Amino acid sequence: MATNHGTARGVKAPTRPLPKIDCIGVLRYGSAPMRTGPHRAPRRARVSLTLLMLLAALPACQQGKKDEAAAMIMNDLLFDEGHQAGYDRDPEIERQVEDLRKRLVVQRVMRQYQTPPTITDEQVKAYYDANPDIYSTTQIHASHILVKDEDTAKQIRDELRAHPEKFADLAKEKSIDTSTAQKGGDLGTFGQGRMVPDFERAAFALKPGEVSDVVKTQYGYHVIMVTERKEGERKPFDQVKEQIRATLRNKALQEQVQTHFDTLKKGADVKLNDDALARVNPPAAPPSPAQTTTSQGGH
């Protein structure tokens, strides 16, 4: 029977759960906030208790945490050594730190302009209706010539429309797409979803033997010719709507970033000499359009 000062016989009194003790917890247990108070134990007892708890918790410490702590300590020791030697004031190190600071600031600014825009269902459906030749099981065999400037691309287009039999020779001579140039620009046979959106839209609109107008992508200027076409069925809207949404979102995002770049350059009255830049830092050969699908996120 319960009394005013205890519990019923045979019933265990509730106990307060013990705090979870880990490596960090043991080290903090003897800290100043935990030691203060009118009923704190004598110093020797407190030290003994802390040592006992540390010994009990050590087996639970993971080896990875020990290695990480050791690496941090060694890093601090090496930094102190370098600081005493004056390396932290070395001009080259200061330059690299400043470069890193600039990159981090630019990344923070860029995040403001890389928020993906919202694409509505109405926009997706309108794009689907306006492009009946896209998102189907149709396959084409096509070739392309890629150059870096629009004027050259227009000259190639005009020559090929007059002499389409020269396509392979011009591709070997003019195309900067090294993965296809030596094959006469041949991309092989492919279906929807293999090419970047602007290239794909132009290619699938062509009939066999037709030469496209100049097509601009982020890799330069293309002239395309289709040599074979196998008609297929159009994919249902519900099957491709998210694919279209991603394409429109990426395109809108690129446009919004480019618009901001153009605004910044106009406001600063910056003029770039593309030829001079090319001589200083020649661009690497761009990949074939078929290798860039994933980066576009559209197909």
* CATH code for position 218: 3.10.50.40
The answer to whether position 127 is within a domain reads yes
The answer to whether position 219 is within a domain reads yes
Indicate the pairing of strand 186-190 with strand 215-217.
unpaired
- Give how many domains the chain has, as a whole number: 2
Dihedral sign for Cα 242, 247, 252, 257, please.
Answer: positive
The answer to whether position 195 is within a domain reads yes
Question: Would the pLDDT of 276 be above 60?
Answer: no
The answer to whether position 244 is within a domain reads yes
Convert 79-99 into a string of H (helix), E (strand) and C (coil): HHHHHHHCHHHCHHHHHHHHH
CA distance 246 to 243: 5
The answer to whether position 49 is within a domain reads no
The answer to whether position 16 is within a domain reads no
Question: Would the pLDDT of 54 be above 90?
Answer: no
CA distance 52 to 49: 5
Range of the domain at 250: 107-132+236-268
**Own/partner pairs for 206-209, CB < 8 Å, 24+ apart?**
206/140, 206/142, 209/164
Question: What pLDDT band is residue 113 in, cutting at 50, 70 and 90?
Answer: confident
pLDDT of residue 263: 86
- Do 187 and 257 share a domain, yes or no? no
Higher per-residue confidence, 146 vs 272: 146
The answer to whether position 94 is within a domain reads no
**Residue at which a domain ends, from 178, 207, 230:** 230
Question: What pLDDT band is residue 266 in, cutting at 50, 70 and 90?
Answer: confident
Q: What pTM was estimated for this model as a whole?
A: 0.49
- Do 128 and 138 share a domain, yes or no? no
The answer to whether position 58 is within a domain reads no
pLDDT for 161-215, tens place per residue?
999 999 999 999 999 999 999 999 999 999 987 888 889 989 999 999 999 999 9
